Amino acid sequence: MTAGDRWFSRGGAAALAHTLRVRIPIIQAPMVGVSTPQLAAAVSNAGALGSIGVGASDVDAARTEIQATRSLTGKPFNANFFCHEPTTVNGERERAWIAHMTPLFREFDADVPSSLASPYRSFLDVCDAMSAMLLQEKPPVVSFHFGLPPKSTVAALRGAGIVTLACVTSPREAALAVECDVDALVAQGYEAGGHRGVFDPSRDQQIGTLALVQLLAKTSPSTLPIIAAGGIMNGHGIKAALTLGAAGVQLGTAFILCPESAADRHFRDGLLSDRAYDTRVSAAISGRPARGLVNRIFSDLGGGAVEPFMPSYPIPYAGTKALGRVAKAKGSTEFAVQWAGQSAPLARAMPAAQLVETLVHEVDMVE
């Protein structure tokens, strides 16, 4: 046992590790498009908790990904789902959004999409079928982003021995998650890469990780373990979060440069360049606020402002991804989606198991 392990074997961290059935209460964040079964399994096999992001998958694809992960590890892992409000179809908004994007498609001499369809559905839309699959496959941990499933679903999953986590961005959302009876809260700060888990983007308080962890530790001291997420990249960050009251941490951006991730070369080069110093939050890329490396999708699709005619999440994503493809075909990565957090320049390229080991060692070294 290393001293890092001893640090994790105390108090709230030990209790969370026990709940998750892992040695190290560090979670590799689920990241649709970036996390893979190989990444999740490498993290889990190293003693932490690996995650797969199946929020954009249908039931069959989610099942396949869970089975693929299970074939690579006998250790616990997490499968993550999106609980956004069911998507509203509004032809007028979709046409207006296509018109908004038309000059960008024209720039690449590409055909403009004639319509935009939602690329995936909310867990809430397919709750019965997805829950039935989960009760068959029994991934050891299931986490929810953008909102909460019905309380009865959480009860059914927990009844089957599945540990449940909910991402929250404010004390108000934490209270709703506690009421839903999940096992632990992922407290996601504004620094975080990727989509904000905020339940209702019109009420986003944009609280930073440091403040959020303390608010939740203060307001719900005896209720649920808090897993800090957002801007944590190394032992200093982990120990800071634990010192402030978190029982564990969830790191996304830190794992993007691992060889087991699906990030492409340009994304990796971006993270290793000065571009990593410039991340921003925009809702115009998918319809919900998300943080990534700045390129023209941030400036040319509407910046940080939510356009009044923007279609319901995730319909705009269909347009953004189509634009990214046509731009890439013409040699431009200016419209590639590259989600990353504010601490992106601190990301390190190393195999996932080595990163987990390094993080534990670093926690040990921090006084």
339 makes contact with ligand FMN (CB under 6 A): yes
Burial status of residue 247 (CB atoms within 10 A of its CB: 0-12, 13-18, 19 or more): buried
Other C-beta atoms lying within 10 Å of the C-beta of residue 272: 15
Residue 84 within binding range of ligand FMN, rule CB under 6 A? no
DSSP conformational letter for 344: G
Site for ligand FMN contains 293 (CB under 6 A): no
Cβ(311)–Cβ(94) under 8 Å?
A: yes
Contact characters 246-275, ligand FMN, x per CB under 6 A: ----xxxxx---------------------
Q: Which of 329, 320, 251 is nearest to 283 (CA)?
A: 320
Q: From the CB of 313, what's the least distance to ligand FMN, in Å?
A: 13
CA distance 144 to 133: 16
Residue 28 sits in the site that holds ligand FMN (CB under 6 A): no
Q: Of the two residues 100 and 315, which places its CB atom closer to ligand FMN in the complex? A: 315
Using CB under 6 A, pick the residue from 248, 343, 352, 360 that binds ligand FMN.
343
- 194 or 311: CB nearest ligand FMN: 194
* Among the listed residues 173, 183, 191, 260, the single contact to ligand FMN using CB under 6 A: 191
First to last CA, the chain: 18
- The reply to whether 173 sits near ligand FMN by the rule CB under 6 A is no
CB-nearer residue toward ligand FMN: 252 or 311: 252
Size of the site for ligand FMN (CB under 6 A): 29
Closer residue to ligand FMN in complex, CB, 101/276: 276
How far apart are alpha carbons 263 and 135 in whole angstroms?
Answer: 31
Query: Which residue number, 113 or 231, has a Cβ lying nearer to ligand FMN?
Result: 231
Q: Which two tokens stand for residue 106?
A: 């024209």
Name the phi and psi angles at 169, rounded to 5.
-120, 5
- Supply the minimum distance, in Å, between the C-beta of residue 55 and ligand FMN: 5
User: Could you say whether residue 232 binds ligand FMN (CB under 6 A)?
Assistant: yes
Q: Does 188 bind ligand FMN (CB under 6 A)?
A: yes
Structural contact between residues 17 and 25, judged by C-beta atoms closer than 8 angstroms: yes
CA 296 – CA 287 distance, rounded (Å): 16
Binding part of the chain for ligand FMN, among 38-46, 172-180, 304-312, 337-345 by CB under 6 A, reads 337-345
Can you say how many angstroms the Cα of residue 244 is from the centroid of all Cα atoms in its chain? Answer: 22
Cβ atoms < 10 Å from Cβ of 74: 10
21 Rama sector, left if φ>0, alpha if ψ -120 to 50, beta otherwise: left
Residue type, position 300, single letter: D
Nearer to ligand FMN, 105 or 199 (CB): 199
Site membership for ligand FMN, residue 193 (CB under 6 A) = yes
Query: Which one of the spans 121-129, 307-315, 316-324, 340-348 is the region binding ligand FMN (CB under 6 A)?
Result: 340-348
Closest CA to 293 of 273, 313, 307, 316: 273
Interface residues toward ligand FMN, by CB under 6 A: 29-32, 34, 53, 55, 80, 145, 167, 188, 191-195, 229-232, 250-254, 339-341, 343
